[in-house]
A and B are shown apart, each in its own frame.
Chain A
Amino acid sequence: MDIKEQEFSRMVREHKSTIYTVCYMFSNDEDEVSDLFQETLINLWKGFESFRHESKLSTWIYRVAMNTCISADRKKRKQGTKVPLSMNINLYNDEDHETKQVRQLHERIQRLDLVDRALVMMWLEGMNYEEIADVVGISVKNVGVKLVRIKEKLKQK
């Protein structure tokens, strides 16, 4: 492995939970989350060389993951070459208490539209409004307004 690949592997290992969480919140089944995860990693790899560290690495990863999940053409993706990705976890079928908790979160977030899902996830992860605005490409003020509306939506059953 050359240095670039080693760096990339390290980055993926460190941020795998963030990437997977984003993909999970935008998916409806295990296959879909795997597809999105693979596609996000490939997009990260493609952009890794040109990443100039002008923004935080975590912000860049979020942006790529969000863009991949929001813009993915699901129909096309399903037709592509399928190569299995393994992560020994099944968040859709496991029945332990923790997974049930996670599924509850998934159900709540799934009620929102795609951009709102992205916003609320970042907010729940504790990112500040500037970082969220940077990832989504809207103004900081707009982030605040949108989050108030999203919270209202979430409160409604």
Chain B
Amino acid sequence: MEELNFDEMRNQITLLKQKLDHQDIVNDHLLRETMRNRMGTINFTKIKSYICAGMCIVLYPLLSVTGTFSNAFVITTCIMMLFCAFGTYYVHRPVDRMNLMTEDLASVAKVMAKFRKQYDQWLHYVTPALIIPWLSWAMYEFAWKNAPEGVNHWLFALPLLVGAAIGMVIGYAWHRKAVNAADNIIKQIEEEK
């Protein structure tokens, strides 16, 4: 009789598990936790951008002192870096203001879609508009104007071009990381709908 009692309990626990196996779990909290992790990637990209801009603002004036670049170029570069830092702040601001644990998911998806669009626009329009003239000017200053006489200008410009290429690859990787994180958040919200 006693064993029967425990058998009954065993059957009941099996019954419970069978019932639960047929249920779908929609765990809003977990979803938001994973979204928060992805948001960390986006924030990290922002911080890296600020650090790069800060480093340029500190280091470029030194290049003016050594005579590598003119004062006008250094000042323009610093202004450009400040503009980029402000652009980053502007694009990230709605994302920073969002509280992922309480905000409704439709609003989160909307903010992330706007963020993604602005990030892409920045890459496709603002980056070339800034980089091409800046790099051309840098090459002129470094390899033509301030270069020693008799050197091959293009050969002298090569380190600058290689540096710029490496910088662009790194920048693009950061960009993709942030955009992918935003995409994943949007996709995850859509899957849960």
Contact = CB atoms under 8 A, between A and B. Distances in A.
A83 interface: yes
B2 A98 contact: no
Nearest to A102: B16
A153 to B, nearest CB: 12
Given A81-B101, A85-B29, A101 B12 contact: yes
Contacts of B20: 16-17, 20-21, 87, 89
A102 B26 contact: no
B101 A5 contact: no
Given A38-B29, A124-B10, A1 B188 contact: yes
Nearest to B13: A124
B66 interface: no
Nearest to A89: B23
A83 B32 contact: yes
A87 B5 contact: no
B11 to A, nearest CB: 8
Residue of A38, A105, A126 contacting most chain B CB atoms (<10 Å): A105
Contacts of A72: none
Interface residues of A, number: 39
Contacts of B27: 12, 37-38, 41, 85
Contact of A87 (B2, B17, B23): B23
Contacts of A5: 34
A78 to B, nearest CB: 15
A42 B19 CA distance: 23
Interface in A22-76: 24, 37-38, 41-42, 45
A105 B34 CA distance: 35
B23 A41 contact: no
A41 B28 CA distance: 11
Interface string A1-20: 11001000000110011101
Interface residues of B, number: 31
Contacts of A121: 13
A155 B17 contact: no
B21 interface: yes
B24 A41 contact: no
A148 B97 CA distance: 57
Contacts of A89: 19-20, 23
Given A5-B34, A102-B19, A124-B6, A87 B101 contact: no
Contacts of B26: 85-87
A105 B26 CA distance: 26
A98 B22 CA distance: 14
A17 B21 contact: yes
B15 interface: yes
Interface of B: 2, 5-6, 9-13, 15-21, 23-30, 32-34, 101-102, 184, 187-188
Given A21-B17, A38-B29, A42-B33, 14 more contacts: A1-B184, A5-B34, A17-B20, A18-B17, A20-B20, A21-B16, A38-B27, A41-B30, A45-B34, A81-B101, A85-B26, A85-B28, A101-B12, A102-B15
